[in-house]
């Protein structure tokens, strides 16, 4: 076999919040790691998107951090990097098992022989998964965690490096205020992502303008209003589609979804006549719905910006020669202007994806 799928962590109980550390003592090159959560809902009360259950994932080699993202950030990075949504099952109904998944692609796509993670290049690579089932789903009372790897087996590859993903900065936006962030210039960028996730608010309700400049404004890479930036850049991706199961009351009920921008949800009741429609559109990963008769509902949601994340780095994501290389610069600065009334209690996160050579 040229390729194989390996179980890195067999399904085990993860009901108690903890950090699971896994030694990646593999000899084969890894194309993708997949984190699979299965959490059993105890009621119909939705507390958050199930991806929130994964608080943080790190890939480390001693003190060297090779990856550090939340579950929501992992899903956003995976979507923008591959233009595909991970396969998961999102249910908020009593007794159902909600199954969010987080894919870690070390290359541009599955089985990328140019970019992949070679554990042999490191001393003691470890995957650390911090989880808390009380953060997502519908009050889960039991949960399991598993990790799988897609490996190059008999096919011999010699990748030149891998894609390194990190949340490098987090802050709370302030109305009409600039936030200046010095970005790393150590490795070339494939993606630069800004996540402005706040319930009921689109990214353009949180942020007003984004400016990226080199060497203290000697060269301006971009300087655009967020509304214009969204319209321009989102033509580069297809809309995100997510299926959701939820119990909807005959009063307004908040439902959680990945979609953060310009989304819409439609649904139908199980076993009852008539259809249910969302009250208004989706914003900030939430929408409200009402059923004439309280019932279980299957929703189809469609929109953009997974978990309200926006990929702003221009260029061809498939061509490493086209990626942004700041290594000769003295400084690379992001200037983010807050909108007039942002949600100041929900952080804005800055995420980088850089190519790291062996």
List per-residue pLDDT tens for the chain, 358 residues long: 899 999 999 999 999 999 999 999 999 999 999 999 999 999 999 999 999 999 999 999 999 999 999 999 999 999 999 998 888 999 999 999 999 999 999 999 999 999 999 999 999 999 999 999 999 999 999 999 999 999 999 999 999 999 999 999 999 999 999 999 999 999 999 999 999 999 999 999 999 999 999 999 999 999 999 999 998 877 888 899 999 999 998 888 999 999 999 999 988 887 665 555 555 689 999 999 988 778 899 999 999 999 999 999 999 999 999 999 999 999 999 999 999 999 888 899 999 999 999 9
Contact 102, 86 (CB under 8 A): yes
Where b means 16+ CB within 10 Å and e means fewer, 42-73 reads: ebbebbbbbbbbbbbbbbbeeeeebbbbbbbb
Burial of 175 (0-12, 13-18, 19+ CB in 10 A): exposed
CATH code assigned to 1-159: 2.70.9.10
What are the residue ranges of helices labelled H in the chain? 71-82, 203-206, 226-233
Contact 265, 298 (CB under 8 A): no
Task: Tell which CATH classification among 2.40.50.100, 3.40.640.10, 2.60.120.730, 2.30.290.10 matches the domain 163-358.
Answer: 2.60.120.730
CA-wise closest residue to 137 among 37, 70, 270: 37
Instruction: Specify the pTM.
Output: 0.96
Q: What is the pLDDT of residue 183?
A: 98
CB within 8 A of 89, min separation 6: which ones? 97, 98, 99, 243
Domain ranges of the chain: 1-159, 163-358
């Amino acid at each position: 076999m040229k390729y194989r799928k390996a179980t890195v962590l067999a399904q085990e109980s993860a009901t108690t919040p903890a950090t699971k550390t896994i030694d990646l003592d593999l000899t084969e090159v890894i194309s993708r790691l997949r984190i699979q959560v299965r959490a059993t809902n105890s009621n119909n009360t939705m507390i958050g998107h199930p991806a929130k259950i994964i608080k943080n994932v790190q890939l480390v080699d001693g003190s060297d951090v090779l990856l550090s993202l939340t579950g929501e950030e992992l899903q956003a990075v995976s979507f923008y990097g591959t233009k595909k949504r991970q396969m998961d099952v999102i249910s908020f109904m009593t007794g159902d098992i909600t199954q969010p998944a987080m894919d870690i692609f070390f290359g541009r796509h599955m089985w990328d022989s140019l970019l992949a993670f070679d554990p042999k290049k490191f001393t003691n690579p470890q995957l650390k998964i911090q989880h808390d089932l009380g953060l997502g789903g519908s009050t889960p009372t039991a949960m399991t965690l598993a990790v799988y790897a897609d490996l190059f087996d008999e096919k011999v590859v010699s990748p030149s490096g891998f894609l390194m993903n990190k949340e490098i900065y987090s802050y709370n936006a302030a109305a009409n205020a600039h936030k200046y962030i010095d970005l790393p210039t150590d490795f070339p960028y494939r993606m630069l992502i800004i996540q402005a996730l706040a319930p009921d608010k689109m990214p353009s309700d949180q942020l007003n303008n984004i400016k990226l400049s080199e060497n203290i404004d000697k060269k301006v890479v971009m300087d655009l209003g967020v509304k214009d930036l969204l319209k321009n850049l989102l033509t580069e991706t297809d809309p995100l589609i997510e299926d959701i199961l939820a119990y909807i009351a005959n009063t307004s009920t908040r439902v959680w979804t990945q979609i953060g921008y310009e989304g819409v949800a439609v649904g139908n009741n199980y076993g009852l006549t008539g259809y249910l429609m969302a009250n208004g559109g989706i914003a900030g990963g939430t929408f409200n719905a009402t059923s004439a008769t309280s019932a279980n509902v299957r929703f189809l949601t469609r929109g953009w910006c997974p978990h309200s994340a926006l990929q702003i780095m221009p260029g061809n994501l498939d061509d490493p020669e086209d990626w942004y290389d700041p290594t000769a610069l003295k400084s690379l600065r992001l200037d983010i202007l807050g909108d007039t009334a942002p949600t100041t209690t929900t952080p804005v996160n800055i995420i980088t994806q850089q190519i790291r050579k062996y």
